Amino acid sequence: MHFVDLHAQYLSIKDEIDAAIASVIAESSFVRGPHVDAFESGFAELIGVRNCVSCANGTDALYIAMKALGLQSGDEVLVPAHTWISTSETVSQAGGTPVFCDSEPQYFTIDPQQIEARITSCTKGIIPVHLYGQPADMEAILEIAKRHNLWVIEDCAQAHLATYKGRMLGTMGDAATFSFYPGKNLGAMGDAGALVTNRDDIAEFAALFSRHGGKGTHVMEGINSRLDGLQAAILNVKLKYIRQWTEQRQACAARYDEQLCAIDRVVTPVVRTACEHVYHLYVVRTHRRNELRMFLKQHDVPTVINYASPVPMYPAYSAQGHTRDAFPVAVDHADQILSIPLYPELSQGDQDNVCQLIARFAEEFEHVEFAAA
Ligand SMILES: *Cc1c(COP(=O)(O)O)cnc(C)c1O
């Protein structure tokens, strides 16, 4: 069994992908060009925003967004402790300081109360991450941002097409960033990313900054962060299928929910009220995580821990001197989480096999205090 099967997705649309790649080569439209323009308008339409500015990857999209918002040395940006390091490393890259916030116990996403507690006179913005495909608590976050005059960048790298109370993720903040890394819900065959925004000033800055500060006249110093034609052409094909693939992910999740909820003390993902989760990852929690992981591995079921530690506890942030008790929820989660296989092409038979193995494990370990409630 695979954890993710990118080849299965390729085979399902092979003719279209091969033709798209051939056309880019025939036209030599390798960097930017018509495929990139088509992708930017297609993706903006899909999300329902005025502007999409493509770039080289989702990490650059965060950096570019913060440069567009004028981040400066000494500025603080509130980020979740439980995320992929891109969210915080780009704050430092843009000259600011990431300030980490603990998670909500049920949802893994940034806790609005922790945001409120960590605001200082230096705070400029908040980057909620819609982790695993689950929306962060946007109503509370937007309210705090408004009251303290902070900007909001939604990190949507794991949350293509997820919704919050009927609103598409990526449309609620000042800007939002997406990754099209191959394993993401909408994945290229290499690195790719984009920033979306309803603010024309941000889009204009981002387009200039990411392309050397302008063509012909350089109105500023920028960086080189471009989407290449091959990736754009591949993404244009996949845009047609992303809704269907999202529904397939949700169907897989529903099947897992149904079977796993019967298993005592394995906690399945809780979806926020009136929200749509898109299951970039299906993450269960259990106190015997390492044993379960080993047991599944012995039965040929690969799993992943996303992520093994809260970001502030990594050596990269040792200079900030964080302690585990500053992030009790994120620390607990890091010890208990396990991502089990989920991708659109995953067969029901494979899913049922995973569930049966988890049930067997739970039975065998019944005499031991086994999981968190
Ligand atoms: C993948 C990811 C990114 C970065 O995307 P890349 O395209 O890999 O640079 C940023 N934030 C989160 C939460 C991610 O999962």
CATH assignment at residue 321:
3.90.1150.10
CA of residue 85 to ligand 1 center, whole Å: 8
209 shares its domain with 264: no
pLDDT, mean of residues 331-353 = 98
Contacts by 320-324, CB closer than 8 A, 24 or more apart = 322/100
Establish if 219 belongs to a structural domain: yes
Single residue among 239, 260, 288 that ends a domain in this structure: 239
Residue from 57, 86, 180 to probe ligand 1 pocket by mutation (most atoms less than 8 Å from CB): 86
Q: Give the DSSP H/E element, type plus range, for residue 195.
A: strand 193-197
Phi, psi of 149 (to 5 degrees): 55, 50
What is the tens place of the pLDDT at every residue in 171-192?
999 999 999 999 999 999 999 9
Establish if 194 belongs to a structural domain: yes
Measured between alpha carbons, how far is 149 from 146 in angstroms, rounded to an integer? 5
Measured between alpha carbons, how far is 234 from 123 in angstroms, rounded to an integer? 39
Measured between alpha carbons, how far is 250 from 205 in angstroms, rounded to an integer? 36
- Does residue 157's CB lie within 6 angstroms of at least one atom of ligand 1? yes
CA of residue 186 to ligand 1 center, whole Å: 12
Structurally, how many domains does the chain consist of? 2
Q: Which residue CA neighbors atom 10 of ligand 1 most closely?
A: 86
pLDDT at 367 over 80: no
170 shares its domain with 246: no
Neighbours of 55 (CB within 10 A): 29
256 shares its domain with 358: yes
**CA end-to-end distance (rounded Å), the chain:** 29
pLDDT, mean of residues 310-319 = 97
- Amino acid 40 reads E
223 shares its domain with 211: yes
pLDDT at 107 over 50: yes
Single residue among 239, 268, 299 that ends a domain in this structure: 239
Concatenating the DSSP letter of every residue in 79-143 gives EESSS-THHHHHHHHTT-EEEEEPBPTTTSSBPHHHHHHT--TTEEEE--B-GGGPPP-HHHHHH
pLDDT, mean of residues 131-155 = 98
Establish if 1 belongs to a structural domain: no
Range of 272's domain?
Answer: 242-364
Establish if 28 belongs to a structural domain: yes
21 shares its domain with 98: yes
138 shares its domain with 276: no
Nearest ligand 1 atom to the CA of 129 is: 13
What pLDDT is stored for residue 249 in this prediction? Answer: 98
Torsion of CA 20, 23, 27, 31, to 10 degrees: 20
Nearest ligand 1 atom to the CA of 191 is: 7
Single residue among 239, 266, 298 that ends a domain in this structure: 239
What pLDDT is stored for residue 371 in this prediction? Answer: 47
pLDDT, mean of residues 316-332 = 97
What is the tens place of the pLDDT at every residue in 112-130?
999 999 999 999 999 999 9
- Does residue 155's CB lie within 6 angstroms of at least one atom of ligand 1? yes
pLDDT at 368 over 90: no
Least-confidence region, from 181-185, 238-242, 368-372 = 368-372
Structure tokens at 254: 């529903």
261 shares its domain with 217: no
What predicted TM-score, i.e. pTM, was given to this entire model?
0.97
CATH code assigned at 129: 3.40.640.10
What pLDDT is stored for residue 373 in this prediction? Answer: 42
* Cβ atoms of residues 227 and 39 within 8 Å: yes
46 shares its domain with 174: yes
* Cβ atoms of residues 177 and 194 within 8 Å: yes
Q: How confident is the model at residue 216 (pLDDT cuts 50, 70, 90)?
A: confident
What is the tens place of the pLDDT at every residue in 279-290?
999 999 999 999
